[in-house]
Amino acid sequence: MSYGVADIRASQVKNLPPPFRNSAIGMRFRERPLGRAFASQRDNQEIQAFVLISAKMKDGRWLNLASAQRDRNPQLIRNLIFQTVLLYLLLLIPLIVLGRFISKPLKALTQNARDFDPSKTANDVAAGGPPDVQHLIEAFNMMQSRVGAMLNEKDVMLGAIGHDLRTPLAALRVRVESVENVDDREKMIAGIEDIDQTLDDILSLARLGRSGSEAELTDVSALIETVVDEFVDMGKQVSFERRGRINAPLRTTLIRRALRNLISNAVKYGKSADIAVDKTEDKLVITVDDIGPGIPDDQMENMFEPFVRADASRNRASGGSGLGLTLARAIARGQGGDITLKNLEDGGLRASLIISIA
């Protein structure tokens, strides 16, 4: 006997044929004593139509199926939406709490790393969050302590080096004074002073990151005039035209050192120095122009490397430690700025000291 299906037919009718009455799917519901969802609501729903499905078997018999088609249940949709929102909140709230539990210590760690200042005593970050985050914070605190210890050891070593080298230099200077030949004596004294200046620049550059000086409101024009007067008193051709009072927060001692280095380079290699200053909302720019031969463009950036000079215009005979621009740029960058070099169209070089005052 074959039970295969030979043909299937379906139709929609408004009224249910008599043979299907009281037996169509969806006509009645089982009793639900516990009041399960939507039982009472669905019993009262109006039947819109009936769907009849008839399948002809291969043996010639027909299998008939009738199903009631009711209108949509808005209560069912509302409950589905409510359940979805509830489920979403039940998952979202723990995720938010967990995210804050993890992100709060990471935020503190990030802020501490961003605010790390070698010149100040570092504060440890309180360990919190899950175990992995706690281990990360503990490792960061240990690293921060080691960095601070290394910097302190470096300062002690630099102080010892400075003392141990300056003491024999001072003794050598005293002995040189007894040399009878004036030319030889002057050359020896110049050599000792050159070594002492180089030593001072090296120590200053090494200690720059540990400077504890704070920025203070400064009259920039007055600061420039003070430095200019030093060079004028030495007979150097240095000029600055004051154009009113300009105030800006600066680390005065360090900026004076950087400006002195730029002017010194200008008068050594460019014969003169013409200084100008300009201030915007977020930066201060001090330019030093000379009338020298300038620097080839391909060597411009190399001039900021320690002990590097352009052979055509700068050599050891001109004096200096070769650290002036290196130290000046380090000072400028320590205050959020920089130093740039540019050849002027009419000849000469412009060194711009850019300082962030935002």
Percent of the chain's residues with pLDDT above 70: 84
The predicted pLDDT at position 77 comes to 77
The predicted pLDDT at position 229 comes to 92
pLDDT digits (tens, 9 = 90+) for 113-170: 888 776 677 788 888 888 888 899 999 989 988 888 887 787 777 778 777 777 888 8
Question: 203 and 226, same structural domain?
Answer: no
143 phi and psi, to 5 degrees?
A: -65, -40
Neighbours of 141 (CB within 10 A): 18
Q: Which has more confidence, 321 or 220?
A: 220
pLDDT digits (tens, 9 = 90+) for 83-103: 888 888 888 888 888 888 888
Q: Which residues pair with residue 279 across a beta bridge?
A: 284
In a domain, 98, yes or no: no
In angstroms, what CA-CA distances link 246 with 27, 242, 330? Answer: 92, 10, 23
In a domain, 186, yes or no: yes
CA pair distance 312, 301, nearest whole angstrom: 15
The predicted pLDDT at position 311 comes to 47
DSSP H or E stretch at residue 342: strand 338-343
Tokens of 176: 């040189």
Rounded mean pLDDT, 302-313: 67
Q: Pick the closest to residue 258 from 286, 299, 221 (CA basis).
A: 286
DSSP H or E stretch at residue 184: helix 182-207
Question: 183 and 234, same structural domain?
Answer: no
69-75: long-range contacts, CB 8 A cutoff, minimum separation 24:
69/12, 69/26, 70/26, 70/42, 70/45, 70/46, 71/45, 71/46, 73/38, 73/41, 73/42, 73/45, 75/38, 75/41
Rounded mean pLDDT, 184-198: 81
Distant-in-sequence, close-in-space partners of 202: CB < 8 Å, separation ≥ 6:
321, 323
CA pair distance 196, 198, nearest whole angstrom: 5
Which range is most confident: 58-62, 227-231, 327-331?
A: 227-231
The predicted pLDDT at position 78 comes to 82
Q: Which has more confidence, 292 or 158?
A: 292
Question: 350 and 217, same structural domain?
Answer: yes
Question: 193 and 273, same structural domain?
Answer: no
pLDDT digits (tens, 9 = 90+) for 23-71: 666 655 433 443 444 444 444 567 778 888 888 888 888 888 888 777 6
Question: 247 and 204, same structural domain?
Answer: no
Task: Give 237's pLDDT tier (boundaries 50, 70, 90).
Answer: very high
Q: Are strands 273-279 and 238-240 parallel, antiparallel or unpaired?
A: parallel
Average pLDDT score over the chain = 80
Q: How many domains does the chain fold into? A: 3
Residue with tokens 């024999």: 168
pLDDT higher than 80, residue 246: yes
pLDDT higher than 90, residue 277: yes
pLDDT higher than 60, residue 319: no
CA pair distance 95, 101, nearest whole angstrom: 10
Strands of 62-70's sheet in order across: 5-13, 47-57, 62-70
The predicted pLDDT at position 36 comes to 42
Question: 351 and 233, same structural domain?
Answer: yes
Question: 286 and 185, same structural domain?
Answer: no
Percent of the chain's residues with pLDDT above 90: 15
Question: 233 and 343, same structural domain?
Answer: yes
pLDDT higher than 50, residue 108: yes
Rounded mean pLDDT, 191-210: 74
The predicted pLDDT at position 341 comes to 93
Q: Which residues constitute the domain of residue 172?
A: 150-209
In angstroms, what CA-CA distances link 154 with 149, 159, 310, 334? Answer: 9, 8, 31, 19
CATH code for the domain of 338 = 3.30.565.10
Domain's final residue, options 71, 98, 121: 71
In angstroms, what CA-CA distances link 177 with 109, 167, 171, 197? Answer: 58, 16, 10, 19
Question: 167 and 36, same structural domain?
Answer: no
Question: 272 and 191, same structural domain?
Answer: no
In angstroms, what CA-CA distances link 236 with 256, 290, 309, 343? Answer: 17, 12, 22, 22
Q: Pick the closest to residue 132 from 90, 101, 166, 177 (CA basis).
A: 101
SS3 state at 351 = strand
Rounded mean pLDDT, 243-264: 88
Task: Give 262's pLDDT tier (boundaries 50, 70, 90).
Answer: very high
The predicted pLDDT at position 313 comes to 42
Tokens of 94: 């723990």
Question: 245 and 171, same structural domain?
Answer: no
pLDDT higher than 70, residue 317: no
In a domain, 297, yes or no: yes
Task: Give 201's pLDDT tier (boundaries 50, 70, 90).
Answer: confident
Domain's final residue, options 165, 184, 209: 209
Domain's final residue, options 194, 209, 224: 209
Total-model pTM: 0.56
Q: Which has more confidence, 2 or 299?
A: 299
Q: How would you label 340-357 residue by residue, b for 16+ Cβ within 10 Å and e otherwise?
A: bbbeeeeebbbbbbbbeb
